[in-house]
Amino acid sequence: MTRATPPLAGATGAPATVPPFDQVAVRVAPGPDLVVRLPGVLLVVGVPDHPAASAAPPSRPALDGWGPAPVPAAPAAAPAGDAHVGELVALCRRVSAAGSRAPGTRLHEELRDWLGTVGDPPSFAVAAATEDGLALVLAGDGTAEVPDLGLRLTPAQGEALGNGTLVLDRLVTWPPAALHLSAGAPAGVAPHPLADLEAGIVPGAAAVLAPAPAASAAPAPPPSGTTMVRLPSPNGRAPLPPPPPRPPAVPTPPAGAPEPAGHGHEHHEHAVPAPVAAAPAAPAPPVELPAPKKSALLFAQPAEAEPAREPLPIPGAEPASAPAPEPADERARVKGILCKNGHLNDPRAGFCALCGIRTTQQTAVLVEGVRPPLGLLVFDDGATVSLDVDYLLGREPETDERVGSGQLRPLLVVDQTGGVSRHHAEIRLDGWDVLLLDIGSANGTLVAPRGAPGWASLVPHQPVRLTAGMAVRMGGRTFAFESPHGGY
């Protein structure tokens, strides 16, 4: 069987980062076959047709009032094909129970060995999670297709085993649309959109594996401490509010003028009082500024005497009080080799990390000094982080008590796929070495040294030393370690 890892025919672009295999919805189409879902494994296997039961033997003599008592028919032996179906399900269950997050590679090898020992294997289609995509194995009438993209894989595209059975064994990337697995039985009605097989074995004709969710295109929220203000258009002008209405002016009769005839007392009851004019405010008195203290008038009284001042310090004399002590330098100190320009370097380095001068010409005398930054973390979005202290990486690193106490510095890793844990990994500086430690994350941490053919998974709580050019993968995010110091 082929061992190559090409993507599905017609797939475009780089492999999409997907969430864990067990978080993807699986819908079942009605049918006579079996759909099996286990952690990291999805199997659709055909069930062979059972032969019709033979005619029942004649019944026993009649019982009083109950009629003849039928003789129970002897149980028919199960077809040999059912035994192979049971072996296949047991094999997938054993590989899934091994505890790996991505059992596809191991199941790939186990099925290869099992198919070589079975004379007449059942038709099946199996998809299992790998570190980078899916492992597909198709036998008999098994098919794997992506109808939305027009992609279809069958055992005819694979190879024939020694017994003539056609088998396709391939590693593929996640398709960007729904993946249909079937064992050859005609599917009934379409699966219900709300159906989701989380685990177990159910009858069905096909399994529909939902596509990986695309990254959210919603705009990123503003950083904390920033206020977003919507400014008005520069060309638009809001209309000014109308001024309040002014009361009508009432004429005031001159002083001493006689009242109009015919009004008398009634005029005083209905007349509107005239507004009283406000008295004009008195101007504020001018403020007189005092004369400068250092100035005095000639031939007048002497100016005020200035207060006595402390004498100027005498050069060379001891100060009256000792200066306040400088704060202690809490930066880490290590032993290294100084180049002729005074730069501290890793004893294993052949050249100075700052000026490039060869350090092997210096005497091998170790000098203790403040440790310089040991390198950079270069993320896939171009962001860089200088490694001068220990870091805690994760989705919410600030919630760890070691960050609150100042023991670790938080490093926020934003992942749209949700594959980064709240507290995912630690970066520790040990002497001139940089150590990476997975602290029990849900999806694990992968590393790949420079030139390595694939990723390797870290054992939780066991540190690994980073070397120059090593790549690290956490969920859907990756970064590389670059440093002229340690990690040789």
R_g over Cα of the chain: 43
User: Six-digit token pair at 322?
Assistant: 């000792």
User: Six-digit token pair at 145?
Assistant: 């297709």
User: Six-digit token pair at 81?
Assistant: 């094909």
Q: Are the beta carbons of 487 and 450 closer than 8 angstroms?
A: no
Q: Are the beta carbons of 359 and 349 closer than 8 angstroms?
A: yes
Q: Please report the pLDDT score of residue 138 as a whole number.
A: 92
Give per-10-residue mean pLDDT for the chain (488 aa).
Answer: 41 43 86 90 83 54 66 53 83 85 84 83 90 88 90 89 81 87 79 80 83 51 46 47 57 52 46 53 65 54 71 73 68 82 80 75 75 90 91 94 92 92 94 92 93 91 92 94 69
Burial of 94 (0-12, 13-18, 19+ CB in 10 A): middle
Residue that the structure tokens 């960007």 belong to: 176
pTM of the model: 0.41
User: Six-digit token pair at 469?
Assistant: 């050019």
Q: How far apart are the first and last CA of the chain?
A: 40
Q: Are the beta carbons of 78 and 51 closer than 8 angstroms?
A: no
For residue 13, which phi and psi values (nearest 5 degrees)?
A: 80, 180
Q: Please report the pLDDT score of residue 32 as a whole number.
A: 87
Residue of 241, 168, 248, 179 whose CA lies nearest to 210: 179
Strands 134-139 and 344-345 come out as unpaired
Burial of 254 (0-12, 13-18, 19+ CB in 10 A): exposed
Burial of 137 (0-12, 13-18, 19+ CB in 10 A): buried
User: Six-digit token pair at 193?
Assistant: 């959109």
Helix crossing, 80-96 with 104-115: angle to 10°? Answer: 150
SS3 81: helix
Degrees (nearest 5) of the Cα angle 66, 68, 74? 125
